[in-house]
């Protein structure tokens, strides 16, 4: 085999690898948009109502404490008592667990209880939401393999204070941090576990594209758990938080140590709502 044939073969392998990777990222991005657009996805979130202690009436009549865009004029009552939420509709009362699949259906609407620290609220999902109807897709950077980096994992467990957009701070478990090199410089990101026993690491970060080409409050990224002292960070899968698509989300903000002094020109660009 001549050297020209060797070079041609290597070029073919490299082209196949690049094409396969770009195909993978393209599929991931399509699934990401489909998840946003589906029934019950973030584009359907059309309201958030914080409950006060006692009775909270809801229905389509504007005189209700929670005024809805569909359903009966006086659909029912949410009761909040000492951290427990119940709903009364059609003469029946039942408990609703926060941040679960428990739902109260009113016309085309779905109402869920959420808990953020000591606050309880009702999240409204509407399949006819303006955000869903007007969604035009997400602009992204071209997939580039240089932004799929293998990072050194440093095990350093600590409690990590995470501020959210409604001004609350929650202490989250962080098992360590990732050290990686990009454009010849070393950086680190500290993830946390979204839930006890989580099987993935969750990163919330800002970089020098934030508030310019990408969403101002930062972006999200997942990675697999560390293996052999390493984690793979694929910034081509960095994505916008729900707050980019609906004003009724309660997104976490990047901690100070995850504000990177580098432009990460990968993943999703900003989306206005």
| Four-way CATH pick for 42-133: 1.10.1750.10, 3.30.1360.120, 3.40.190.10, 2.60.200.20 | 2.60.200.20
pLDDT digits (tens, 9 = 90+) for 106-164: 999 999 999 999 999 999 999 999 999 999 999 999 999 999 999 999 999 999 999 99
pLDDT of residue 19: 81
pLDDT digits (tens, 9 = 90+) for 181-207: 999 999 999 999 999 999 999 999 999
Could you tell me which residues come within 8 angstroms of residue 26 by beta carbon, excluding any fewer than 6 positions away?
143
**Residue 45 and residue 85: Cα distance in Å, rounded?**
20
Confidence of residue 272 (pLDDT cuts 50, 70, 90): low
pLDDT of residue 13: 47
- For the segment 89-112, the average pLDDT, to the nearest whole number, is 97
Total Cβ atoms within 10 A of residue 33: 14
Answer yes or no: is pLDDT of 65 > 70: yes
pLDDT digits (tens, 9 = 90+) for 4-63: 554 554 455 444 556 889 999 999 999 999 999 999 999 999 999 999 999 999 999 999
The single residue listed with the structure tokens 């404490």 is 65
CATH 2.60.200.20 maps onto the chain at 42-133
């Amino acid at each position: 085999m001549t050297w020209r044939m060797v070079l041609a073969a290597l070029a073919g392998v490299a082209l196949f690898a690049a094409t396969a990777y770009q195909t993978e990222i393209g599929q991931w991005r399509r699934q990401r948009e489909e998840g946003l657009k589906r029934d019950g996805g973030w584009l359907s979130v059309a309201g958030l109502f914080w409950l006060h202690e006692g009775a909270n009436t809801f229905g389509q009549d504007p005189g209700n404490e929670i005024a809805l865009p569909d359903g009966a004029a006086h659909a029912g009552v949410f009761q909040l008592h000492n951290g427990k939420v119940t709903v009364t509709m059609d003469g029946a009362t039942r408990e609703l667990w926060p941040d679960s699949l428990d739902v109260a259906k009113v016309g085309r609407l779905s109402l869920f209880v959420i808990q953020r620290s000591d606050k309880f609220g009702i999240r409204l999902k509407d399949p006819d939401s303006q955000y869903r109807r007007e969604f035009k897709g997400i602009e992204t950077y071209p997939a580039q393999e240089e932004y799929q980096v293998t990072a050194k994992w440093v095990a350093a467990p600590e409690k990590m204070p995470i501020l959210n957009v409604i001004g609350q701070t929650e202490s989250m478990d962080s098992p360590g941090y990732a050290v990686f090199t990009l454009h010849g410089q070393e950086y680190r990101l500290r993830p946390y576990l979204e839930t006890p026993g989580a099987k993935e690491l969750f990163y919330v970060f800002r970089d020098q594209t934030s508030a310019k080409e990408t969403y101002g409050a930062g972006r999200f990224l997942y990675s697999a758990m560390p293996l052999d002292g390493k984690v793979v960070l694929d910034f081509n899968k960095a994505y916008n938080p729900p707050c980019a698509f609906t004003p009724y989300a309660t997104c976490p903000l990047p901690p100070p140590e995850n504000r990177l002094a580098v432009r990460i020109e990968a993943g999703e660009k900003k989306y206005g709502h």
